Structures are given as C-alpha cells and as structure tokens.
Structure 1
Amino acid sequence: MRYSTLGKTDIKVSEICLGSMTWGTQNTSSEGHAQIDHALDAGVTFMDTAEMYPVNPVRPETAGGTETIIGEYFARSGKRKDWVLATKIAGPGFFGPEEITPTSLENHLEASLKRLQTDYVDLYQLHWPNRGSYHFRQHWTFDPSQQPSKEQILDNMRAVTEKMAELQAAGKVRAFGASNESAWGMANWLRVAEETGGPRMETIQNEYSLLCRMYDNDLGEMAVHEKFTLLAYSCLGCGLLTGKYNGGTTIAEGTRLAINGNLGGRTSPQTWAATQAYVDVATKHGLDPTAMAIAWTLTRPFKVMPIIGGTSVEQLKKSIDGATLELSGDVLGDITAAYRANALPF
C-alpha cells in the first residue's frame, strides 16, 4: 500500500480510502466491522463516512446509522488512532431545508462525534453546497442563475470558514473538505480562506471513474495548482465497471441495481456499451476489471484517492488489489481509445 497526504496538510493516509455507505442497509454492523478489520490488515488507514449514511436507500430514519456502526467499532476495538476518519455534514435537500451555517456546522459535527464515539474527526466535509450542485446527473438541467447572489454566497463562506477555524482550534477537526463542488465553488472557498486566515478546503469528494470524467478539465487543472486532493466516489461506477451486470441482463437480488433501478440515472444504452468497452480492455490484458478501474484512477495527473466500498470482504479485496496494480502503456492506450469512443455515457 502506498501512502500520501491530504492536500497541503501533513495528514498521511493510504492512497485507497475505505467507504462505508452500505453499513446499516445492505450490510449489518458485524459485516461493516469485518470490512474495517480487513482493510486495516491490508494497509488501508483512511475511512470515509457521512451523517446521511447509510444509502440504498437514503432515509431520514436511518441517517447517522453508519456513523453509529463505526463508533461501536472504535469503542470495541480501541483502534480509533489507527484510522484517519472523514465524515460530512449533509447540507440542504436531504433531511430538510437546513443550510450549512456556522451554527449548523457545529451542531451537526457534535452529533457526528457522539455517534462516532470520538472527540475529533480528521477531515470534515460539506456534503452538498448550499447553492446546489450539478452532480448526480443534475448537469443535464443545471441552472446557476437560480442560485443566491454572489455576495450572499461569499458572506456565508466567510462565516462558515470562521467557524471552521474555531472548530480546528478546539481540536475537533484537523482539516476540511468540500464535496460535489464545482471549480467556481472551490476557487472561492480557497479565496475566502486566504482572506480570513481560516482553514482551506484540502480535499474535494466528487464522482470520478472511467465512466464519469467531468473532473478531468477545470477542476483537474485547479487541483494541480492549488494542491487539493480528489477523493473519488463511485470509482467503479456503482459496480458497473466490475462487469457483474453483464450489460443489464444480470441483476442479482440485493445489488444496487436491483435496489435503485437505474443507479441514480447512470444506466442507459450508452452506459452498457461504455462499460463493456472497459471490461473488454481488462479481458484483453488478463486483468480483473475492478482492479483495473481502481488502478487507473491512481495514474491521473492530479492527486486522486479512490474511495472503495462493497457489500463483502471479497469485493473489497479486488478493489484493494488495484492499489498495487501497475497498468502498462498498452493498457492505458486501450483505455484512452475506449474513452474516446464512449465519452460521457451518463
């Protein structure tokens, strides 16, 4: 396992991050604990969760359940210090209209700390921007003209950044990050941090995979120069890139496709064609498609840490294998050809 740091911080983590969003719906707490133990044994030291988890489906009545499972693990094992722990405040839209403000930031953090049975988190992230987002297929109808004024947005950012500084000084948070953000949003979070002397956004957690490469352009350039880290979610395309769905003809009970129907708008005729193209590349070169997809994220010209997850330890093993898989020039060339033929499938 290779290790790196988050953004400009000295927080050292494994290049692979353990995701947790299925713990509490598709996975029991004991299954979640088994995944934590296996990942740690494999050298993974970075774990991500959120107050809105578990998902599949997201329900207000189950929100916080995954954090509770992780907290129970820490209490039982005593291994809190073995992990760099990230969680998120949800923001507006999921459990009501509550925006991220200085007050809500502190209140939601305190609730997460209680569930996680810890007195600090290493990385606290804003799950969704107050002003809205183009992620999760919202880019097809994204309308920034409906956002609050620039002055209102910046005033909120300044107030939240000042509260972030207080929470950091109190030892409750080591670093902060954004999620489902845009280049404009990240630019202004960084500018406000410089203006106020408050913490900067060291990470951005956005969707990124062979099937979803919107990050490659403006955000990728910005990440190189501003030195923040991409925490890539859905880096297997919600399981599509494993090849397990066989073009939509094999839908096993309990899988995300069986539960969600269209994987949050990811399935389409173009998606199946693109997925098969990448599976064919893996087959041609004798590679596991899961490991190949994870390994590819680690070849990018900007810093990426893929968030892996699954409903079993066996699934995790294939993703963890991607951390040490070196892709040849021929493999990367075939991946590029597949991308040019199948760009933006959803």
Structure 2
Amino acid sequence: MKFNRLGQSQLNVSEVCLGTMTWGIQNTQADADEQLAVAIEAGVNFIDTAEMYPTPPNEATYGDTERILGHWLNRHAHYREQLVVMSKVAGSGLNYIREGSQISGTTLTQALDASLQRLQTDYIDVYQLHWPNRSTPHFGRHWPAKYQPQQTDTAAEIAGMRDILNALKSAITAGKIRHWGLSDETPWGIATYLKLCEEMGVERPVSIQNEFSLLHTKDWPYLIEQCMFEQVAYLPWSPLATGILTGKYIDGKRPSGSRWTYIQRQGLFRDRPAAHEATKRYQQVARHAGITSAELALAWCKQVPGVSSTIIGATNTQQLLQNLNAFNLQLDSATLKQIDAILHDYPAGF
C-alpha cells in the first residue's frame, strides 16, 4: 500500500480510503467488521464517514454509520492511533438534522460533540464541512444555466465562514479534532477559506473531497491544480460514479440490492445516456487490458496528478477486494491513450 501526506498535516494516509456510507442500510455491523478487517489487512489506514450516513439519508437511520464504526473502535481500541478517521458535519436541507439549519459555529460544535459520542472516540482526525451553505455547481448543477452565483450574498457567506472557522479553531484547541477539511467545494470556497485562515490565525484545511471519476472530471485540471499548489489533499469520492462504471446499470439493469434500487437514489442526475455509452466504451478498454471496468476506473483515478487518496466503498468483501486490487495496477500508455480518446468523446457523462 502506498501512503501520501495529507495536505500540510503530518498525517500519512493510504492511497485508498475506506468509505462507509452503506453501513446501516446495505450493510450490517458484521459486514462492517469484515470490511474493516479486510481493509486493514491490505494496509488501509484511512476511513471516511459522516453524521448524515448511511445513504440514502433518512431520519430513521441518521447517525447509524458512525455508531457502527464506533462499536468497532470500542472493540479495537488498539487500532485507534494507527487510523486516520474523518467525519463530516451536515449542512442544510435535512429537516431531522438540527431542523435543517445551515452550518454555523454553534451547529458545528453540536454536531461534532454528537459524532464523538457515536464514534466512541476522544478526537476526530479530520472534521469536514459536508457541503457549503451556499448553492454550488455540484450534484448536477454544473451544466450551463443550472447554477446562479449571482443569487449568493457573498458578504453573508464570508461572515458565516468566519463563524465556522472560529468553531473549528476552538475544536482544535480543545483536542476534539486534529485537522479540518472541505467537501463538495469550489475554487472560490477553497481560496476564501485559505485567505480567512491566514487572516484569523486558523489552521488551513488539509483536504477536500469532491465527486470525481471517468464520468465526472469537472475538477480537473483547475480545482485539482489549486489543491496541488496550495497543498490541499484532493480526495475523490464516488470514483465508480455510484456504480455506473462497473457496468451493472447498463441497458436499464437494476441488480437486486444495488444502490439504484433504493428510493431517493435511482441514479439521481447520473442516469444519462452518455454515461452508459461511455461506460460501454470503457468496458471494451478494460477487456482488452485484461481487467474489469471497475479496476480500470479506480486505477485511472489514482494516477491523476494531485489525487492523494481515493474513497472507495463496497457492499461485500468480494467487491472490496476487487477494488483494493485496482490500486496494485499500473495502466500502460496504450490503455491511457484509449481512455483519453473516450474522455474527448464523453467529457461529461452526466
């Protein structure tokens, strides 16, 4: 397993990060225990969770993923110092989480204390803002005319950022978190936080996790370049595009128990003809290379300059082992050239 420095921190993290958002709906405590055993055996020391998980999010299961990880941490306390655990504070939009309120200094502190209790740990290594308070060109809003930046009150947004940073500074001072990071942010958000951190004497964000895959490359090269130059670790989430790149959803297929069979998921904005056509092309490349299309997608993702660690998830150990194996692969120049040709034909799958 290869390890990379996490931004400007002193943390070295595996190039694979174990995602946990299926734990609590698609996976049980026993499943999670098994996945953690497999991942740690493979050298993974990086785990990502969130107060909102599992997904699809709902009031009945809110916080259960952290509880599952917490039960494991309580039974395996000797691993705690070896692991880098990340979690996230949810923003607005979910009425059962702090009445749908935005992230503020107050709500962040409330969320952090609750996460620490569920995780049964004294500290979280990296505490992240799950999504910004303002509207951003993420989650299907990256297409022209889908996002209206003129509707954002930037002065109010910056004031809110200051309030959040004060709470993060207090949490770091109290030892509740070691570092903090961003998620689903934009270059403006990164730049503004960096400027405010310097002005306020707050530690800079060490990482950002955004959606990134062969079907969703909007962060490359501009946002990823900024991350490299500013030493902010870039952490792709959904590198298999919610499973599309495995090929399991081609031609309208919906395998039993898969994510797209769940209410609220069902492909969301990602179920587009271009995504499936591109996937068919990637499957051809993978077959020629003697690997699966999932392995192709993950091996491609890890070799993108600026990617520090890729967040993967699985609903069973067979999937997890296959995903882990992808990080032992090196795509040759001929395969990369074929991938580039498809990216030119399908620069945005969804």
Q: TM-score, normalised by structure 2?
A: 0.95
**What secondary structure is seen at the aligned counterpart in 2 of 1:199?**
coil
1:13 alignment partner in structure 2 = 13
Paired with 2:251 and 2:54, the residues of 1 have a C-alpha distance of: 25
Q: Deviations over 1:209-245 (max 9, x none)?
A: 0000011032022112111111111100111111223
2:49 alignment partner in structure 1 = 49
Give, as a single letter, the amino acid of the residue that structure 2 aligns with 1:318: Q
Paired with 1:193 and 1:213, the residues of 2 have a C-alpha distance of: 28
| Structure 1 residue ranges without an equivalent (≥5) | none
The structural deviation recorded for 1:264 is 1.9
* Aligned equivalent of 2:254, options 220, 240, 251: 251
The structural deviation recorded for 1:97 is 3.1
Paired with 2:94 and 2:135, the residues of 1 have a C-alpha distance of: 12
1:74 alignment partner in structure 2 = 73
The structural deviation recorded for 1:258 is 2.0
User: Are 2:127 and 1:124 equivalent residues in the alignment?
Assistant: yes
- More displaced 10-residue stretch of structure 1: 170-179 or 299-308: 299-308
Matches within 5 A, 1:53-202: 53-55=53-55, 57-78=56-77, 79-95=79-95, 96-140=99-143, 141-147=146-152, 149-202=153-206
Paired with 2:315 and 2:132, the residues of 1 have a C-alpha distance of: 29
The structural deviation recorded for 1:335 is 0.6
Contact 2:236-2:307 at 8 Å conserved across structures: no
**What secondary structure is seen at the aligned counterpart in 1 of 2:268?**
coil
Instruction: Say what the alpha-carbon RMSD is for the aligned residues.
Output: 1.3
Contact 2:13-2:309 at 8 Å conserved across structures: no
Paired with 2:10 and 2:136, the residues of 1 have a C-alpha distance of: 30
- More displaced 10-residue stretch of structure 1: 326-335 or 283-292: 283-292
Contact 1:50-1:89 at 8 Å conserved across structures: yes
User: Are 2:6 and 1:3 equivalent residues in the alignment?
Assistant: no
| Structure 2 residue ranges without an equivalent (≥5) | none
Q: Deviations over 1:41-100 (max 9, x none)?
A: 110000000000000x21022110000000000112223223110000001112343111
* Aligned equivalent of 1:312, options 299, 305, 316: 316
Contact 2:5-2:308 at 8 Å conserved across structures: no
1:324 alignment partner in structure 2 = 328
Contact 1:297-1:304 at 8 Å conserved across structures: no
Give, as a single letter, the amino acid of the residue that structure 1 aligns with 2:320: L
The structural deviation recorded for 1:160 is 1.5
The structural deviation recorded for 1:10 is 0.7
**Count of matched residue positions in the alignment of Structure 1 and Structure 2:** 343
Q: Deviations over 1:314-334 (max 9, x none)?
A: 101111112121111111111
Paired with 2:242 and 2:251, the residues of 1 have a C-alpha distance of: 13
**What secondary structure is seen at the aligned counterpart in 2 of 1:61?**
coil
Give, as a single letter, the amino acid of the residue that structure 1 aligns with 2:149: P
Paired with 1:94 and 1:280, the residues of 2 have a C-alpha distance of: 41
The structural deviation recorded for 1:155 is 1.6
Give, as a single letter, the amino acid of the residue that structure 2 aligns with 1:219: L
The structural deviation recorded for 1:133 is 2.3
Percent same amino acid at aligned positions? 39
Paired with 2:261 and 2:62, the residues of 1 have a C-alpha distance of: 21
Give, as a single letter, the amino acid of the residue that structure 1 aligns with 2:155: E
The structural deviation recorded for 1:129 is 0.3
2:287 alignment partner in structure 1 = 283
Q: TM-score, normalised by structure 1?
A: 0.96
Give, as a single letter, the amino acid of the residue that structure 1 aligns with 2:219: Y
Contact 2:4-2:309 at 8 Å conserved across structures: no
Paired with 1:132 and 1:199, the residues of 2 have a C-alpha distance of: 25
2:32 alignment partner in structure 1 = 32
